[in-house]
């Protein structure tokens, strides 16, 4: 990542560009320099050759002048004439040393050496360089390069006249390492004299070259002649080979050489300076580039870091807007984005986790909080308690007072719940009229006072628009860890406790394993129920529905009883719901219908026209064959359809409203009476019931129990009765236990009453006995 950062790339690009430019100019300068150097070297060699030749000429002239002075010397001529060899030799010596000549020879016209300063013993021997004397004879003097005793000499020959020529003076400078050193000093070149070697080519006569390079020369002659360039030892030279002349022992050449390294030395120095400059420039560029890039990318990096943290959910960062540059604008956008995301996320969180109506946490949030609380309790070893609360008769409030009022009830209940618990407790609305309370660090046994306090808060009616409204609720509680260890089970336990509380019509219950056990018992009962139907363990009881107008008891509800051979009496509340869940209820209904219709027929034959109500379940209503089955049963028993009433619950209608409605219509068309059972506990409204072909409305027990003492219950019952009548329905009140309630119901205009106040459900024989007694009692 870091390697490819923007700053890195900026620095690399610019430094790279600079490096390329520097390298190119460096190469160019080097190539040009090399070429110039070689040209310079060639020129230097040319100049060197000229200088060298002039030097030789000067020495030649010096020798000539010296030799001429000697030739005119009187003493010399005298000594020649007197053949005084000793004086001759000393004259030669004197003149020679005056100009530092290394060799002076006098030879006669007979070409015999008469005196020789180098080797006096040579006197009497023939003079070797006849060609020089021949040339001197023609021009009055000659010069040449010759070897004497293996040494190389530059020689001049002049005649000695008296006045005719009487002999020849040869004077010479030796050419040795000292001479070449002088030549090098003047010309600046390496100077090497080469002569013929007997047998193998050339041999070095004198040289300024170091010994090793001098030795290497012999093998390089062809190269030297051909290209004028050679590598000697480990040094490169530009060279020039010059022929000086032919000596007796062959041609004598001089090799002028210029060391390339020497020529290039200033170039190299220049190149090093250049390279150093380039490096310095690069370094400066790198540093400056890094600073500049840093300055450009630093704010970008800051923004990137901020964006990273936004991604991780941190929306509280301070973003410096900086300037008006693009980066400043970017920072501005980022700041806006941060706030926008934060707001939106907060909104989403609220939407997802909050109940809109009450502002309380919703089910999702409650589950999270419960999970967290359980985790905390696991570590701390503490307990916690969960309560579930469900309002009674809430749908009726909605129906009779309207939804806006229902909403206000829910809001108020939520508020009161929050007031009733501690600050650390959580109140949530799970759904509809269901609330939950989480009590952390509280054992379920210790929660009883809380349950009481919550119930206490319902003791004061709600005041909505100055109207008192009485609200009641059922509650179930379960505790961690004794009842369950995970949230879902804990909620299920509390739910089961609530369900049990409602079924038992208690204000609240704390979960116990028996509840679960009861549920399991139901399951095993179910298997036995099937045999019960076949073996006639079921019995029907009849409970009268007494008309308030004339006290007649010509209607009754058939209620099933199961007399189990071992368990004894099993309440229908225990097995009916489970038979419904498994579908076996159809068999039960068949049995009840058959038994009830048969009983109506029997009573009819004995002169009693009793209209009997039979309870139907959800599944029965969804059975299209039901009307035909009922019709054939009625026909078999000879019972007019008007003597049979079918009680249905609202939930039975909800499953598949179209199909249920169709079945109901067919039944009603057959002439049967139809009743809505348990009215007020379900969710359907009177507006919906208006569309059903029913004849009777049975107000649920829940509204009746406290009717005599509770104003708002009375209000609801009053409006239900009024609405029922307006829809042309008879209204029956269930579960009436005392005469005070009977009187209230009479005042409110209720049609019939069913309840212990008149009679409990009774077997057919008991019913007949009760009925007879009742008729006598109420007969005018």
Give the binding range for ligand C2E (CB under 6 A) out of 43-51, 170-178, 485-493, 734-742.
Answer: 734-742
- Tell me which residue of 148, 56, 63 sits closest to 98, measured CA to CA: 63
Looking at 592, 597, 697, 716, which residue binds ligand C2E (CB under 6 A)? 592
- Position 647 contacts Ca ion (CB under 5 A): yes
- 376 half-sphere exposure, CB direction, 13 A CA radius: 11
Question: Cα–Cα distance between 557 and 733 in angstroms, integer?
Answer: 13
Q: What is the spatial distance between Cα 327 and Cα 329, in angstroms, rounded to a whole number?
A: 5
Residues 735-754 that bind ligand C2E (CB under 6 A): 735-737, 754
Question: Residue 542 in contact with residue 558, Cβ under 8 Å?
Answer: yes
Q: How far is the CB of 745 from Ca ion (least distance, A)?
A: 15
Stretch that binds Ca ion, among 18-26, 269-277, 592-600, 645-653 (CB under 5 A): 645-653
425 Cβ neighbours under 8 A, 6+ residues apart: 437, 438, 439, 440
**Least spacing, CB of residue 689 vs Ca ion, in Å:** 15
Look at residue 131 and give its three-state secondary structure: helix
Q: How far is the CB of 754 from Ca ion (least distance, A)?
A: 8
| Cβ count near 98 (within 10 Å) | 11
**Structural tokens at position 652:** 């039975």
The residue within the footprint of Ca ion, chosen from 116, 392, 677, 713 (CB under 5 A), is: 677
Element containing residue 712 per DSSP (H, E): helix 711-726
Of 300-308, 326-334, 730-738, 745-753, which segment contacts ligand C2E by CB under 6 A? 730-738
Locus of tokens 């004028």: 228
Q: How does DSSP classify residue 761?
A: -
Residue 425 interacting entry, from Ca ion, ligand C2E, none, C-beta within 5 to 8 Å by type = none
Least separation, in Å, of the C-beta of 596 and Ca ion?
12
* Among the listed residues 487, 703, 761, 774, the single contact to ligand C2E using CB under 6 A: 761
Helix, strand or coil, per DSSP, at residue 537:
coil
Residue 94's SS3 state is: helix
**Site for ligand C2E (CB under 6 A): which residue of 222, 571, 606, 658?**
571
Cβ-proximal residues to 82 (8 Å cutoff; 6+ apart), any chain: none
Stretch that binds Ca ion, among 102-110, 297-305, 391-399, 610-618 (CB under 5 A): 610-618
**Which of 150, 199, 568, 573 touches ligand C2E by CB under 6 A?**
573
How near is the Cβ of 596 to ligand C2E at its closest, in Å? Answer: 8
Give me the DSSP letters along 17-62: HHHHHHHHHHHHHHHHHHHHHHHHHHHHHHHHHHHHHHHHHHHHHH
| 235 lies in the site for ligand C2E, by CB under 6 A | no
Residues 668-707 that bind ligand C2E (CB under 6 A): 677-678
574 binds ligand C2E (CB under 6 A): no
Choose the one of ligand C2E, Ca ion, none that binds residue 385, judging by a C-beta under 5 to 8 angstroms depending on kind.
none
Give the ranges where 473-584 is alpha helix by DSSP (H). Answer: 487-503, 513-534, 572-582
Q: Which is nearer to Ca ion, 313 or 573 (CB)?
A: 573
- Closest chain position to ligand C2E (CB): 755
Nearer to ligand C2E (CB atom), residue 496 or residue 560: 560
Nearer to ligand C2E by Cβ, of 484 and 648: the residue is 648
Is residue 763 within a helix (H) or strand (E), and if so which, with residue range? strand 762-763
Residue 425 Cβ vs Ca ion, minimum distance, rounded to whole Å:
37
Buried b / exposed e along 620-643 (16+ C-beta atoms within 10 A): bbebeebbeebbebbeebebebeb
| Bridge partner list, 479 | 385
- The residue range among 47-55, 313-321, 367-375, 729-737 that interacts with ligand C2E, by the rule CB under 6 A, is 729-737
Number of residues engaging ligand C2E in binding (CB under 6 A)? 21
Cα(756)–Cα(595) distance, integer angstroms:
23
Measured from the CB atom, is 196 or 713 closer to ligand C2E? Answer: 713
**Burial state string for 66-90 with b = 16 or more CB within 10 A and e = fewer than 16:** bbbbbbebeebbebbeeeebebbbb
- Stretch 597-626 residues interacting with ligand C2E (CB under 6 A): 615, 617
Closest CA to 389 of 475, 453, 509: 475
CA distances for 464 relative to 192, 407, 422, 461, angstroms: 132, 11, 26, 9
- Does position 629 bind ligand C2E by CB under 6 A? no
| Helix H or strand E segment including 386 | strand 384-391
Q: Which two tokens stand for residue 412?
A: 């108020």
For ligand C2E, what does the binding mask look like between residues 522 and 561, x meaning CB under 6 A? ---------------------x---------------xx-
Q: Which stretch binds Ca ion (CB under 5 A): 328-336, 500-508, 683-691, 727-735?
A: 727-735
Residues 6+ positions from 550 with CB-CB distance below 8 Å:
778
User: Closer CB to ligand C2E, residue 89 or residue 764?
Assistant: 764
We find the least distance from the C-beta atom of residue 757 to ligand C2E, in angstroms, to be 6
Q: Which stretch binds Ca ion (CB under 5 A): 64-72, 462-470, 621-629, 647-655?
A: 647-655
CB of 647 to Ca ion, least distance (A): 4
| Rg of the chain over all Cα atoms, to the nearest angstrom | 69
Q: Name the minimum Å distance from CB 617 to ligand C2E.
A: 4
In the bound complex, what is the minimum distance in angstroms from residue 616's beta carbon to Ca ion?
9
Q: Which is nearer to ligand C2E, 41 or 546 (CB)?
A: 546
Q: Which is nearer to ligand C2E, 26 or 683 (CB)?
A: 683
| 433, 678, 713, 751: residue in contact with Ca ion (rule CB under 5 A) | 678
- Please, what's the b/e burial string for 141-170 (b: 16 or more CB within 10 A of its CB; e: otherwise)? bbbbbbbbeebbbbbbbbbbeeeeebbbbb
Site for ligand C2E in 16-55 (CB under 6 A): none
CA dist., res. 246 & res. 253, Å (int) = 9
Residue 755 contact partner, candidates ligand C2E, Ca ion, none, CB within 5 to 8 A by sort of partner: ligand C2E
Judging by beta carbons within 10 Å of its beta carbon (0-12, 13-18, 19+), is residue 499 exposed, middle or buried? middle
The binding site for ligand C2E (CB under 6 A) comprises 543, 559-560, 571-573, 576, 589, 592, 615, 617, 677-678, 734-737, 754-756, 761
Q: Which stretches of the chain bind Ca ion, using CB under 5 A?
A: 615, 647, 677-678, 734
């Amino acid at each position: 990542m870091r390697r490819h950062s923007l700053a890195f790339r900026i620095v690399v690009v610019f430094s790279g560009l600079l490096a390329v430019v520097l390298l190119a100019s460096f190469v160019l300068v080097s190539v040009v320099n090399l070429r110039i150097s070689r040209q310079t070297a060639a020129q230097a060699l040319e100049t060197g050759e000229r200088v060298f030749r002039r030097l030789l000429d000067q020495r030649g002239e010096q020798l000539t002048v010296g030799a001429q002075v000697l030739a005119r010397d009187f003493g010399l001529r005298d000594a020649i004439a007197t053949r005084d060899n000793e004086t001759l030799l000393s004259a030669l010596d004197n003149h020679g040393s005056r100009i530092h000549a290394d060799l002076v020879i006098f030879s006669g016209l007979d070409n015999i050496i008469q005196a020789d300063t180098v080797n006096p013993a040579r006197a009497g021997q023939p003079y070797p360089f006849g060609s020089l004397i021949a040339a001197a004879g023609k021009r009055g003097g000659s010069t040449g390069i010759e070897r004497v005793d293996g040494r190389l000499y530059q020689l001049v020959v002049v005649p000695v006249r008296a006045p005719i020529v009487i002999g020849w003076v040869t004077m010479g400078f030796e050419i040795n390492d000292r001479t070449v050193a002088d030549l090098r000093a003047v010309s600046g070149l390496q100077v090497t004299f080469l002569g013929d070697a007997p047998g193998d080519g050339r041999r070095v006569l004198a040289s300024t070259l170091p010994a090793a390079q001098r030795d290497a020369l012999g093998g390089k002659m062809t190269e030297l002649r051909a290209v004028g360039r050679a590598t000697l030892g480990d040094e490169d030279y530009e060279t020039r080979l010059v022929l000086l002349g032919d000596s007796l022992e062959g041609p004598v050449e001089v090799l002028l050489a210029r060391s390339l390294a020497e020529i290039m030395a200033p170039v190299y120095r220049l190149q090093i300076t250049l390279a150093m400059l380039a490096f310095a420039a690069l370094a400066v560029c790198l540093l400056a580039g890094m600073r500049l890039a840093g300055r450009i990318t630093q704010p970008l990096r800051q923004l990137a870091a901020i964006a990273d943290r936004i991604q991780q959910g941190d929306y509280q960062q301070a973003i410096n807007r900086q300037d008006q540059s693009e980066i400043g604008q970017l920072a501005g956008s980022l700041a806006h984005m941060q706030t926008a995301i934060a707001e939106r996320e907060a909104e989403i969180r609220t939407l997802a986790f909050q109940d809109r109506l009450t502002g309380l946490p919703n089910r999702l949030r409650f589950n999270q909080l419960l999970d967290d609380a359980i985790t905390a309790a696991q570590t701390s070893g503490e307990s916690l308690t969960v309560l579930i609360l469900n309002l009674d008769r809430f749908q009726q409030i909605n129906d009779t007072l309207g939804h806006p009022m229902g909403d206000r009830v829910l809001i108020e209940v939520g508020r009161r719940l929050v007031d009733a618990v501690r600050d650390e407790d959580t109140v949530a609305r799970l759904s509809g009229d269901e609330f939950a309370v989480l009590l952390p660090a509280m054992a379920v046994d210790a929660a009883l006072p809380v349950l009481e306090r919550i119930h206490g808060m319902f003791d004061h009616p709600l005041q909505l628009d100055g109207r008192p409204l009485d609200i009641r609720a059922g509650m179930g509680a379960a505790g961690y860890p004794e009842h369950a260890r995970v949230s879902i089970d804990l909620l299920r336990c509390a739910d089961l406790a609530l369900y049990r509380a409602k079924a038992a019509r208690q204000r609240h219950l704390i979960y116990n394993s028996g509840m679960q056990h009861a549920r399991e018992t139901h399951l095993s009962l179910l298997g036995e129920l099937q045999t019960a139907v076949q073996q006639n363990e079921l019995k029907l009881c009849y409970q009268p529905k007494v008309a308030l107008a004339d006290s007649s008891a010509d209607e009754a509800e058939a209620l099933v009883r199961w007399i189990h051979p071992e368990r004894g009496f099993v309440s229908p509340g225990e097995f009916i719901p489970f038979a419904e869940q498994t579908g076996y209820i159809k068999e039960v209904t068949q049995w009840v219908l058959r038994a009830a219709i048969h009983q109506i027929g029997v009573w009819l034959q004995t002169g009693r026209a009793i209209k009997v109500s039979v309870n139907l379940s959800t599944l029965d209503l969804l059975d299209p064959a039901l009307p035909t089955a009922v019709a054939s049963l009625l026909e078999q028993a000879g019972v007019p359809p008007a003597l049979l009433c079918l009680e249905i619950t609202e939930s039975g209608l909800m499953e598949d409203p179209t199909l249920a409605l169709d079945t109901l219509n067919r039944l009603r068309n057959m002439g049967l009476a139809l009743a809505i059972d348990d009215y007020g506990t379900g969710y359907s409204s009177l507006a919906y019931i208006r569309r059903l072909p029913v004849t009777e409305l049975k107000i649920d027990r829940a509204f009746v129990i406290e009717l005599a003492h509770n104003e708002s219950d009375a209000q609801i019952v009053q409006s239900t009765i009024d609405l029922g009548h307006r829809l042309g329905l008879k209204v029956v009140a269930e579960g009436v236990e005392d005469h005070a309630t009977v009187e209230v119901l009479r005042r409110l205009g209720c049609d019939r009453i069913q309840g212990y106040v008149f009679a409990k459900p009774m077997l057919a024989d008991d019913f007949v006995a009760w009925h007879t007694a009742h008729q006598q009692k109420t007969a005018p």
